[in-house]
Chains A and B, each alone.
Chain A
Amino acid sequence: MIRIEPREKISNSSTIFIPIIAAIVSLLFAAIPIISAGANPLIAYVEMAKGVFGSVFAVSEMLTRATPLIFTGLAAAIAFRAKLWNIGAEGQLYLGAIAAVTVGSGFFDLPAIFLLPLIIVLGACAGAVGMVAPTFLKVRFGADEVVTTLLLNFIIIIFLQMLLEGPLQDPMGLGWPQSAPILDQGMFPPLIDRMRVHSGLILAIILAVIAHFMIKHSVWGFKLRAVGENSSAAKHAGININHSLFGVALLSGGLAGLAGVSEVAGLKGYLTADLSPGFGYAGIVVAMLAGLSPIGVLVASVFIASVFVGADSMSRAMGISSFLADLVVSVSLLCVLVGGFIAKFKIVRAGTGKKIL
């Protein structure tokens, strides 16, 4: 029999090497399905690396994919820090996107310097609105926010589909369920000419740095950490838990809303009901991988985006099924999570107490 015990000290070298080892192990595991699909795994991995770092275009694609993940990752990380389990980033993302196309597609004809900030602020507000009801229900009646935020996702997506076939439908769109495009001056300027990576990335990075600083050095962040770590002690010490929770909830919803804004006003230009391939849920994975640290979210987003984009381009280049890409993504996530677990816990033999790992 084996037993799992927490490590007394987490060594510095293990925090660096364990993720690297986890990545290598995940490549070894992923080689099995690649071989069975009839391809050479070495060539496949070279193709994968090329797809992520092989050219400016490849890097741009990877960062484009990372941008919404940073927003949703931050949304989850901040909420989870306060033990507020916001699973509704997907819905809040769409609320932000709805706000962005509503004000951005001709409602106001303002110059870029006003229109883009307006879109950003209103998009964030719309995302925050998505957290009001779940947080109220939690604080007032003790309703579990995991359930309420999760269910709200489906309500919001159905609401969006209704909007896209009704008031928000593009009159020039030949009947497709899509919104009118955002005006050119409402779009995030691209970072590199003729590439898809846009300045939403810069906004995401700035927000991650601010979030890191606020959590560590502000009274607000102090309260958030206290409430998350031990809410009864925080309450005893005079911290208003409900205020803190509402603040965190609105901020988390706002960040998720910005993911929608950045996708619609940075990339697509118009809104459809398939804007997000699950960025809201992937944000939860990003936040967990990052250990709920905002700076860690940047790293984790780049990692996940690399695996996604790399695996995609590998399957294209090798002519193997694109399902394989999903498989590679899942295997590497599992390996990194197991690696994180091994970094924190040791495995000992129950009888003798002898350390196995």
Chain B
Amino acid sequence: MEASTVLKLNGLAKRFGSILANDDITIHLQKGEVLALLGENGAGKTTLMNMLFGHYLPDSGNIEIKSVNGELVPLELGNPSAALAAGIGMVHQHFTLAENITAFENITLGAESLFSLRRNQRKAEKKINNIMSNSGLEAPLDIPVGRLSVGERQRVEILKALYRDAHILVLDEPTAVLTPQEADALFSNLRRMTNHGLSVIFITHKMREVLAFSDRLVVLRHGKNVGSMETSNATEKKIARLMVGSETQKVSPKRITPGGPILSLNDISVAGRSKRDSLQNISLTLKSHEILGIAGISGNGQNVLADLISGLALPDKGSILLKGVAIQNINPLNMIKLGFGRIPEDRHRQGIVGGLSVSENMVIERLDDPLIQNFGFLRSSVINDNAQTLSEKYDVRGPGIDQASRLLSGGNIQKLILARVFEQQPEIILANQPTRGLDMGAASDVQRHLIEARDRGGGVILISEDLDEILGLADRIVVMRDGNLHDVNSSSREAIGLMMAGESV
């Protein structure tokens, strides 16, 4: 096997301040192989790939890569151009395409010398068409990238890497933005390319993809390589045990019968700037003792719906009824006072004020409360005691309650928001992508709190891209597409996936 090794990461280590992000990681990649790199958030996957691609300089260790003449040669570290020249292509989770120029221009951009007088367009076109027909990756080349769909943009990213003669392709969370069907298509194309000799590393934390599409997998935990195995020998349980150190209990709530309706949206329309932030005549009823799951690919109107329920957006038409009474003043403060608990999608941008302390963020939604203030002055002892109690109760860990909340990790920021929201015993909870980017421990904490709120008699609207999360938690599921809601009768992921993608079932 040694002869067909195309890449060796030898003992790579990287430290950021007090955190050892990567600790002596060794990974070998074979020719034509699909290697899945698994791990919780913060396990060090992205750091490792950034070292491979020259964005970061390892503190120790080295990288060897197969050169043109078939020998393994050391790769110059900390130099992205060297990585590119050696045939490493990287597709980031957040695309690095210029939206105002065409796919063709994006693909060829930077691949030719700045000083060449004429671009050899014909030759470039021929090469791209060749790659497209060999790989099955199709994308329109002559319209601006800004008008392409997310799936098409991703294909352009991959074509861009292949155009530079990459023989090792690194994909960071490639399916985060795709429908299940698009993801399947992507992987079958990748398989075609590996048959032609490409080697692929993909970063993910979705088990299903790993089991279905990879040849081999490597699990990282706390910056260490904790195990690698042939995918044929792996099971979901085995992988989960490696990822978190022990088998986690999957949260699966008891079904309970929902109560009466507490919140209804009646025939609401919101005209946004574009289709992705508009709602068209949607109606929805939420009952007490119910978790309503809203599935859908992001960018289909979920954010407007969340803004509406948070009080940030006003309906152009239609009404919101709380227990049969129309809400008059739709603004965030009034919604909080009416008993809405809101867990925003972007916790850094909307959830916390990073520069304020943890204790201040825990009371930011109830500044009018006489417990918090006295004649306009903050009662700091009450605020600090509150933060102390809640930090223990909700297990918020960080450098201290008087420190800036931006110093907390993502999971702890989410716990801070949970503490703030759930302590007010809200009747209606809006949870928008509440577990995105969280590790398994924190995610199951979030899910447990949502179930508790439901059992207590609240109604929960759960907006999530993670179909498994919705299937696991929701008592009822609707699919959001193009600013509309569609009822779902089946609970098969296949059927829901097709609805998300826009096919009528």
| Chain A positions 210 through 250: 1 when the CB is less than 8 Å from some CB of chain B, otherwise 0 | 00000001111011011011101111111110000000000
| Chain B positions 320 through 355: 1 when the CB is less than 8 Å from some CB of chain A, otherwise 0 | 000000000001110110000010100001111111
Which of these, A219, A229, A232, A351, contacts B373 with CB under 8 Å? A219
Is B78 an interface residue when CB atoms closer than 8 A count as contact?
Answer: yes
**Is the Cβ of A353 less than 8 Å from the Cβ of B57?**
yes
**Is the Cβ of A233 less than 8 Å from the Cβ of B78?**
no
Which of these, A8, A230, A351, A352, contacts B353 with CB under 8 Å? A230
Q: Inside 8 A of A350's CB, which chain B residues have their CB? A: 78
**Is the Cβ of B354 less than 8 Å from the Cβ of A222?**
no
Is B365 an interface residue when CB atoms closer than 8 A count as contact?
Answer: yes
**Is the Cβ of A218 less than 8 Å from the Cβ of B378?**
yes
| Nearest opposing residue in chain B for A350, CB measure | B78
| Nearest opposing residue in chain B for A8, CB measure | B17
CB within 8 Å for A229 and B356 given contacts A219-B376, A352-B57:
yes
Q: Inside 8 A of A234's CB, which chain B residues have their CB? A: 353, 364
Which of these, B351, B356, B377, contacts A236 with CB under 8 Å? B351
**Interface of chain B, helix or strand or loop or mixed?**
loop
Which of these, B17, B350, B373, B380, contacts A233 with CB under 8 Å? B350
Is B367 an interface residue when CB atoms closer than 8 A count as contact?
Answer: yes
Is B312 an interface residue when CB atoms closer than 8 A count as contact?
Answer: yes
**Is the Cβ of A233 less than 8 Å from the Cβ of B353?**
yes
CB within 8 Å for A217 and B57 given contacts A230-B355, A236-B332, A239-B367:
no
CB within 8 Å for A217 and B332 given contacts A225-B356, A226-B356, A237-B364:
no
Q: Inside 8 A of B376's CB, which chain A residues have their CB? A: 218-220
Q: Roughly how many angstroms separate A350 CA and B373 CA in the complex, as a whole number?
A: 49
Q: Inside 8 A of A8's CB, which chain B residues have their CB? A: 17
Q: Inside 8 A of B199's CB, which chain A residues have their CB? A: none
CB within 8 Å for A229 and B377 given contacts A237-B332, A237-B365, A240-B333:
no
Q: Inside 8 A of B360's CB, which chain A residues have their CB? A: 222
**Is the Cβ of A236 less than 8 Å from the Cβ of B57?**
no
**Is the Cβ of B367 less than 8 Å from the Cβ of A223?**
yes
**Interface of chain A, helix or strand or loop or mixed?**
helix
Q: Inside 8 A of A235's CB, which chain B residues have their CB? A: 312, 332
Residues of A within 8 A of B (CB-CB), count: 25
**Is the Cβ of A238 less than 8 Å from the Cβ of B336?**
yes
Query: In whole Å, how far is B97's beta carbon from the nearest beta carbon of chain A?
Result: 25
Query: In whole Å, how far is A321's beta carbon from the nearest beta carbon of chain B?
Result: 45
CB within 8 Å for A222 and B367 given contacts A236-B312, A351-B78, A352-B57:
yes
User: In B374-416, which residues have CB < 8 Å from any A CB?
Assistant: 376-378, 380
Query: In whole Å, how far is B155's beta carbon from the nearest beta carbon of chain A?
Result: 33
Q: Roughly how many angstroms separate A238 CA and B420 CA in the complex, as a whole number?
A: 13
Query: In whole Å, how far is A237's beta carbon from the nearest beta carbon of chain B?
Result: 4
Interface centre among B57, B350, B365, B372 (most CB of A within 10 A): B350
CB within 8 Å for A219 and B378 given contacts A237-B332, A351-B57, A353-B57:
yes
CB within 8 Å for A218 and B349 given contacts A229-B354, A240-B333:
no
| Nearest opposing residue in chain A for B367, CB measure | A219
CB within 8 Å for A217 and B356 given contacts A232-B349, A351-B57:
no
Q: Inside 8 A of A229's CB, which chain B residues have their CB? A: 353-356
Q: Roughly how many angstroms separate A226 CA and B311 CA in the complex, as a whole number?
A: 18
Interface centre among A217, A219, A236, A352 (most CB of B within 10 A): A236
Q: Roughly how many angstroms separate A81 CA and B332 CA in the complex, as a whole number?
A: 23
| Nearest opposing residue in chain A for B14, CB measure | A353
Q: Roughly how many angstroms separate A218 CA and B367 CA in the complex, as a whole number?
A: 10
User: In A313-357, which residues have CB < 8 Å from any B CB?
Assistant: 350-353
**Is the Cβ of A225 less than 8 Å from the Cβ of B349?**
no
**Is the Cβ of A230 less than 8 Å from the Cβ of B349?**
yes
**Is the Cβ of A217 less than 8 Å from the Cβ of B342?**
no
Interface centre among A8, A220, A230, A233 (most CB of B within 10 A): A233
**Is the Cβ of B365 less than 8 Å from the Cβ of A217?**
no
**Is the Cβ of A238 less than 8 Å from the Cβ of B378?**
no
Q: Inside 8 A of B377's CB, which chain A residues have their CB? A: 217-219
Is B310 an interface residue when CB atoms closer than 8 A count as contact?
Answer: yes
| Chain A positions 80 through 117: 1 when the CB is less than 8 Å from some CB of chain B, otherwise 0 | 00000000000000000000000000000000000000
Query: In whole Å, how far is B177's beta carbon from the nearest beta carbon of chain A?
Result: 23
Q: Roughly how many angstroms separate A236 CA and B345 CA in the complex, as a whole number?
A: 11
| Chain B positions 227 through 243: 1 when the CB is less than 8 Å from some CB of chain A, otherwise 0 | 00000000000000000
Q: Inside 8 A of B353's CB, which chain A residues have their CB? A: 225-226, 229-230, 233-234, 237
Q: Inside 8 A of B367's CB, which chain A residues have their CB? A: 219, 222-223, 238-239
Q: Roughly how many angstroms separate A136 CA and B352 CA in the complex, as a whole number?
A: 27
| Nearest opposing residue in chain B for A228, CB measure | B355
| Nearest opposing residue in chain A for B16, CB measure | A8
| Nearest opposing residue in chain B for A238, CB measure | B333
Q: Roughly how many angstroms separate A239 CA and B365 CA in the complex, as a whole number?
A: 8
Query: In whole Å, how far is A191's beta carbon from the nearest beta carbon of chain B?
Result: 31
Q: Roughly how many angstroms separate A228 CA and B312 CA in the complex, as a whole number?
A: 19
Q: Roughly how many angstroms separate A239 CA and B57 CA in the complex, as a whole number?
A: 43
Query: In whole Å, how far is A105's beta carbon from the nearest beta carbon of chain B?
Result: 37
Q: Roughly how many angstroms separate A218 CA and B355 CA in the complex, as a whole number?
A: 16
Q: Roughly how many angstroms separate A239 CA and B344 CA in the complex, as a whole number?
A: 16
CB within 8 Å for A236 and B310 given contacts A8-B17, A219-B367, A226-B364:
yes
Q: Roughly how many angstroms separate A350 CA and B54 CA in the complex, as a whole number?
A: 12
**Is the Cβ of B350 less than 8 Å from the Cβ of A217?**
no
Query: In whole Å, how far is A285's beta carbon from the nearest beta carbon of chain B?
Result: 23
Q: Inside 8 A of A237's CB, which chain B residues have their CB? A: 332, 336, 353, 364-365
Query: In whole Å, how far is A293's beta carbon from the nearest beta carbon of chain B?
Result: 13
Q: Inside 8 A of A217's CB, which chain B residues have their CB? A: 377-378, 380
| Nearest opposing residue in chain A for B420, CB measure | A237
| Nearest opposing residue in chain A for B334, CB measure | A238
Which of these, A219, A226, A236, A351, contacts B344 with CB under 8 Å? A236
**Is the Cβ of B332 less than 8 Å from the Cβ of A238?**
yes
Q: Inside 8 A of B372's CB, which chain A residues have their CB? A: 219
User: In A1-29, which residues have CB < 8 Å from any B CB?
Assistant: 8
Q: Inside 8 A of A223's CB, which chain B residues have their CB? A: 367
Q: Inside 8 A of A218's CB, which chain B residues have their CB? A: 376-378
Q: Inside 8 A of A240's CB, which chain B residues have their CB? A: 333
Q: Roughly how many angstroms separate A237 CA and B344 CA in the complex, as a whole number?
A: 10
**Is the Cβ of B349 less than 8 Å from the Cβ of A233?**
yes
User: In B276-319, which residues have CB < 8 Å from any A CB?
Assistant: 310-312
**Is the Cβ of A232 less than 8 Å from the Cβ of B356?**
no
Q: Inside 8 A of B342's CB, which chain A residues have their CB? A: 236
Q: Roughly how many angstroms separate A352 CA and B59 CA in the complex, as a whole number?
A: 9
| Nearest opposing residue in chain A for B380, CB measure | A217
| Chain B positions 166 through 178: 1 when the CB is less than 8 Å from some CB of chain A, otherwise 0 | 0000000000000
A-B contact pairs, 26 of them (CB 8 A): A217-B377, A217-B378, A217-B380, A219-B373, A219-B376, A219-B377, A219-B378, A223-B367, A225-B355, A225-B356, A226-B364, A230-B349, A232-B349, A233-B349, A233-B351, A235-B312, A236-B312, A236-B344, A236-B351, A237-B336, A237-B364, A237-B365, A238-B331, A238-B332, A238-B335, A351-B57
Q: Known contacts A219-B367, A220-B376; can you find 5 more A-B pairs with CB under 8 A?
A: A217-B378, A218-B377, A226-B364, A230-B355, A238-B335
The 4 A-B pairs at the shortest CB distance, nearest first, are namely A238-B333, A229-B355, A238-B332, A237-B364
B residues with CB within 8 A of A = 17, 57, 78, 310-312, 331-333, 335-336, 342, 344, 349-356, 360, 364-365, 367, 372-373, 376-378, 380
